[in-house]
Structure 1
Amino acid sequence: MSARSKQEKKKGGVGKVLLILLAVVSIIAIGVYIAGVIYFQQHFFYRTTVGNTDVSFMDVDTSVNTLNNATNTYKIKITAPGDKVYEVKGKDISMSLASNAKATVEKEIKSQNVFTWPLSLIQPEHKEIKVEYSDSKLHKQLEDLLSLTKDPVNATITINDDNYKVVEAKYGADTAAVQKEIDDAINHQNYQLTLNTANFTAPEITSNSEQITNAVKKIESYLKSTVSYTIGSSKKVMDKASVLKVLSISDTYDVTVDDTKLQAYVEELASNFNTYGKVRTFRTQAGDDIQIGGGDYGYILDKDSEFTQLKSDLESGKMVERQPMWSQTAQGTLENDIGDTYVELDYTNQVMYYVLHGERVFTSDIVSGNINMGSGSPDGVFRIKYRVTNTSLKGTDYDGSEYDSPVNYFIVFAYNIGFHDAPWQPWFGGNRYTYAGSHGCINLPNDSAAYMNANVPNDIAVVAYYRYPVNLTGTANANSNAYSYHG
């Protein structure tokens, strides 16, 4: 056999092998194609998604289960103008497949052209299936967004009990259009949604606007103006909450001290600081506690002066420590304005005590006003106002005659009532005041009056009381605000 014949025979063998291979491949391809045609009659094509869930090669039941799981784990990120971001989870809005989901899946699978299944290898398929969810729960999740008004709302500053807060501006919105955007995104099971800005109107003033930042700076300046009141050994502070309470913010974001609010605060200070005439619990030298009010002793705030000074303090932006603006002061603290140095008058037992720094240093019997003649001495808490020496006390006696009584010492504590020596009294103490008492003054032995004049200073408290109910009358008791005055 020639070489040429051998070569031709060899070529013929290779061609035969190629034909056989081609036939085998064709048979396999046809088999695979036919198998695919049969398989995809009950399964989704490759690269098929429902919503955003891959259901490639899945039959009806598997697809439904997979889609159900997808609704349980579904969540969407919604971005609104102003960089507001919201997240909604399917489980929070009771999201589930529609009741006809299985029938829909069956229909979608059957609608596939199974004879074109190889195209799915290069061409993805997307299907839609209805989902259900609670509109009310969705609205609750997006309440801030879906409750926006048509018109925008500018940022504001609110003041509550002990702080202030910048309330963010709100966009105006066509909420119906926004709701539709969100519903469409959820129904398509999208994972992200950027809302259309055309459905929103931006506010003019936001929390970063100059008007807001300047107002915040002004508030902070006022809050630096802490006012500490020193009252005796105690302190009272106008704290942050109290400062905020007197501020006002106008519609144009001007922050000022509001005169009406400040006046109300000063009235509150007066009610807390004033001790004038209040009922006090007093521990007597006998060791018992009594209730005594009335008189003219105690702290009194000068409200007009305090208003003016306090407004100046607040506007200074500085920490201030000072006394309240008093129209009248006392010796002790607000809690015990009498202090530990005072004169005590026990009218019932007709005795006087001088207490110095908490220690009783002097005691004297007295004769007070004639209680049975309507001249009972005033009870209450008073202060020693002034004193004179070598003077004469004048007035009308009980019988209508005029009297003129020279005294060495006269120490006044209530209206025109005071302590003085009374050489006409043969003795002091006991019940003498009930029948030979004075016209209201406190009669003392001369040495007792001399001691008081020399040792008891002006402005200290005089605590005067009866141990039984009395009905005091007369001008002196009225003018001195006696505790037992009944007119």
Structure 2
Amino acid sequence: MRIKKDIPHIIAYVLLGIAAVLLVVYFAFAAYFHSHYYFHTRIGTLNCGGKTAEYVEKSNTQNADDYLLTVYDRENNKFHLTGSDFGFQYNSTGEEEKILKNQNPFLWPSSLFHHSDYTLSASTSYDADALKEQISKLEFMSADYMTAPTDARIEIEDDNYEIIPETMGTTTIPDEVLKEIEAAVDSQETSVTLSDACYESPSILSTDSSLQATADQLDSYMASTITYDIEGADEKLASSDILKMLQIDDNGNVTVNDDAITSYVQHLASTYNTYGDKREFTTSKGDVVEVSGGDYGWVIAKTKEAEQIKSDLAGGTPVEREPVYEQTAVAPGPNDIGNTYVELDYSNQHMYYYKDGNLTFDSDFVSGKLSNGNGSPDGVYKIVYKQSPSVLVGETYHTEVQYFVPFAYNVGFHDATWQPKFGGDWYLTHGSHGCINMALDKVQEFYGMIEVGTPVVAYYRTPVELTSESAQISNAASYVDKNAQ
């Protein structure tokens, strides 16, 4: 069989034929790539595989004529720059042909498996001044369009404070905008998004340590609550109250507003001072009289209390204490007289001494003569001191007494052996210069039991006018300034 013998030759002829065809194809493409770019070749933004240098030049020239750059601002709004407005054009430097000549046409098969990218240097030109002018005309470059950045800050509200974040704003930095757009144009980009470098930035960010330091100061102050130990009252300088007293300076330092502290201390004094207050007093006769005036009662030392508040607030921890008092009373709260006191009923010319609520002593007396302006002072006072013997000195008298127990300025209890009787209406015509005249044995007994600091409640049951210096100085309730009328 001859056919079987010819098969190897046939296969050889076929293979030779295929090889011949492949060689023809290979050399045909090699000849083609003498004047055309490899497959997968990119020059700049142009895909030019299988294209000629003339095609690249013409395409780039046409693209330059139609060049449009889209600019995105910080808020992703877009604006356009047209190349023809700033003289954008393509300038062939011969690099298109050089790239073509530098490729080996006989190595064209390698282009099937990898990409070739080229950039043409100085292939475009434009009028820099015209570009700058066109950029300045963009809407986002106008003052009306821009919003200034704001610093992060702390705002104090009614009950708390809040860290307000910064706002970035849209105020541009012209030189930076020009730099980034020029770079995009030089690279023949068709779009560019302006970076943060193109905008003015806030000076203080919400993450800044200085802002946190301010918040820490506020927290420390707000933790310094003050709970006041005042009988019958629920008085507290709470965190929200403290916050209203604070102020933040330009450097973020927290300080206490002196006026706010003064106002709060005045509130304390107005609320809890009992000095000279009107008091309803149940007399020994069982009726109720209104007593005011005098120098007795709780008095908050406003200057020292303000200083103590500042010190407490600087401590950063809760405090529980009494107010700083300039003067105290024997009993806490509004009913500060307590149940140990002396009662002077001027209208009935009788006195009572109660010890722990029990009547321990009582006596008639002769008080100041009203008709010549020497009426004894009314109000709430306290025993200032005791002295035995003593000398009473006035403008018209110099009198030695065995016992003297003052309670209001130079007015006090003392023995008056010159008085023939005590009580009744005798004081109206034979009253003292203002002191409480008592029988020697009575004042001796009283002197032995009374203690310094004991409250003295003195009152008239009918309206009177007191004009003496002692009544004025002792803040008597019935004092009348005749010179002011």
TM-score (norm 2): 0.60
The aligned runs of 1:358-369 (5 Å cut-off) are: 358-369=357-368
Corresponding residue for residue 321 of structure 2: 322
- Equivalent position to 1:412, from 406, 410, 413: 406
Residues 1:248 and 2:247 aligned together: yes
- Partner amino acid, structure 1, of 2:264: Y
Cα RMSD of the aligned pairs, angstroms, is 3.0
1:352–1:366 CA contact under 8 A, matched in 2: yes
- Equivalent position to 2:449, from 455, 460, 467: 455
CA distance in 2 between partners of 1:169 and 1:289 (Å): 66
- Equivalent position to 2:473, from 465, 474, 479: 479
- Partner amino acid, structure 1, of 2:406: V
Corresponding residue for residue 159 of structure 1: 156
Rate the CA distance shift 1:365–1:309 in 2: closer, same or farther, 3 A.
same
Residues 1:210 and 2:209 aligned together: yes
Structure 1 residue 315: Cα displacement: 0.6
CA distance in 2 between partners of 1:318 and 1:301 (Å): 23
Q: Deviations over 1:8-33 (max 9, x none)?
A: xxxxxxxxxxxxxxxxxxxxxxxxxx
Rate the CA distance shift 1:162–1:285 in 2: closer, same or farther, 3 A.
farther
2:391–2:398 CA contact under 8 A, matched in 1: yes
Structure 1 residue 234: Cα displacement: 5.5
Corresponding residue for residue 300 of structure 1: 299
Corresponding residue for residue 470 of structure 1: 464
Corresponding residue for residue 115 of structure 1: none
Q: Deviations over 1:49-104 (max 9, x none)?
A: xxxxxxxxxxxxxxxxxxxxxxxxxxxxxxx999xxxxxxxxxxxxxxxxxxxxxx
Rate the CA distance shift 1:289–1:209 in 2: closer, same or farther, 3 A.
farther
Corresponding residue for residue 288 of structure 1: 287
CA distance in 1 between partners of 2:476 and 2:210 (Å): 58
Aligned residues: 320
1:225–1:316 CA contact under 8 A, matched in 2: yes
Residues 1:220 and 2:214 aligned together: no
- Equivalent position to 2:419, from 389, 404, 425: 425
Q: Secondary structure, in 3 states, of the residue corresponding to 1:305?
A: helix
Rate the CA distance shift 1:366–1:163 in 2: closer, same or farther, 3 A.
farther
The aligned runs of 1:46-65 (5 Å cut-off) are: none
2:392–2:400 CA contact under 8 A, matched in 1: yes
CA distance in 1 between partners of 2:169 and 2:279 (Å): 61
Corresponding residue for residue 275 of structure 2: 276
Residue identity (%)? 43
Residues 1:170 and 2:167 aligned together: yes
Structure 1 residue 415: Cα displacement: 0.7
CA distance in 1 between partners of 2:357 and 2:266 (Å): 33
* More divergent stretch after superposition (321-330 vs 373-382): 321-330
Structure 1 residue 416: Cα displacement: 0.3
The aligned runs of 1:42-441 (5 Å cut-off) are: 150-173=147-170, 203-231=202-230, 236-395=235-394, 402-441=396-435
CA distance in 2 between partners of 1:155 and 1:417 (Å): 67
Rate the CA distance shift 1:263–1:485 in 2: closer, same or farther, 3 A.
same
CA distance in 2 between partners of 1:425 and 1:473 (Å): 24
Corresponding residue for residue 27 of structure 1: none
Q: Secondary structure, in 3 states, of the residue corresponding to 2:386?
A: strand
Structure 1 residue 162: Cα displacement: 3.0
1:232–1:331 CA contact under 8 A, matched in 2: no
Rate the CA distance shift 1:228–1:358 in 2: closer, same or farther, 3 A.
farther
Q: Secondary structure, in 3 states, of the residue corresponding to 1:165?
A: strand
Q: Deviations over 1:153-195 (max 9, x none)?
A: 2222222333223333334258xxxxxxxxxxxxxxxxxxxx9
Q: Deviations over 1:368-387 (max 9, x none)?
A: 11112221101111111111
Rate the CA distance shift 1:293–1:168 in 2: closer, same or farther, 3 A.
farther
CA distance in 2 between partners of 1:168 and 1:223 (Å): 22
Structure 1 residue 337: Cα displacement: 2.5
CA distance in 2 between partners of 1:338 and 1:439 (Å): 27
Rate the CA distance shift 1:260–1:477 in 2: closer, same or farther, 3 A.
same
2:232–2:333 CA contact under 8 A, matched in 1: no
- Partner amino acid, structure 1, of 2:208: S
CA distance in 2 between partners of 1:149 and 1:239 (Å): 43
- Partner amino acid, structure 2, of 1:309: Q
Q: Secondary structure, in 3 states, of the residue corresponding to 1:484?
A: coil
Rate the CA distance shift 1:237–1:149 in 2: closer, same or farther, 3 A.
farther
Rate the CA distance shift 1:437–1:249 in 2: closer, same or farther, 3 A.
same
Q: Give the number of the structure whose alpha-carbon radius of gyration is greater.
A: 2
Rate the CA distance shift 1:403–1:205 in 2: closer, same or farther, 3 A.
closer
Structure 1 residue 434: Cα displacement: 0.8
Structure 1 residue 367: Cα displacement: 1.2
CA distance in 2 between partners of 1:341 and 1:316 (Å): 40
Structure 1 residue 275: Cα displacement: 2.2
Rate the CA distance shift 1:159–1:323 in 2: closer, same or farther, 3 A.
same
Structure 1 residue 461: Cα displacement: 1.7
CA distance in 2 between partners of 1:471 and 1:213 (Å): 65
Structure 1 residue 152: Cα displacement: 2.2
CA distance in 2 between partners of 1:428 and 1:386 (Å): 24
1:246–1:265 CA contact under 8 A, matched in 2: no
Rate the CA distance shift 1:164–1:282 in 2: closer, same or farther, 3 A.
farther
CA distance in 1 between partners of 2:338 and 2:456 (Å): 11
Structure 1 residue 345: Cα displacement: 1.1
Rate the CA distance shift 1:244–1:283 in 2: closer, same or farther, 3 A.
farther
Unaligned runs of 5+ in 2: 1-72, 76-144, 172-192
CA distance in 1 between partners of 2:410 and 2:340 (Å): 23
CA distance in 1 between partners of 2:267 and 2:328 (Å): 18
Rate the CA distance shift 1:367–1:245 in 2: closer, same or farther, 3 A.
same
Structure that is richer in strand per residue: 1
Q: Secondary structure, in 3 states, of the residue corresponding to 1:462?
A: strand
Q: Secondary structure, in 3 states, of the residue corresponding to 1:368?
A: coil
Q: Deviations over 1:99-153 (max 9, x none)?
A: xxxxxxxxxxxxxxxxxxxxxxxxxxxxxxxxxxxxxxxxxxxxxxxxx981122
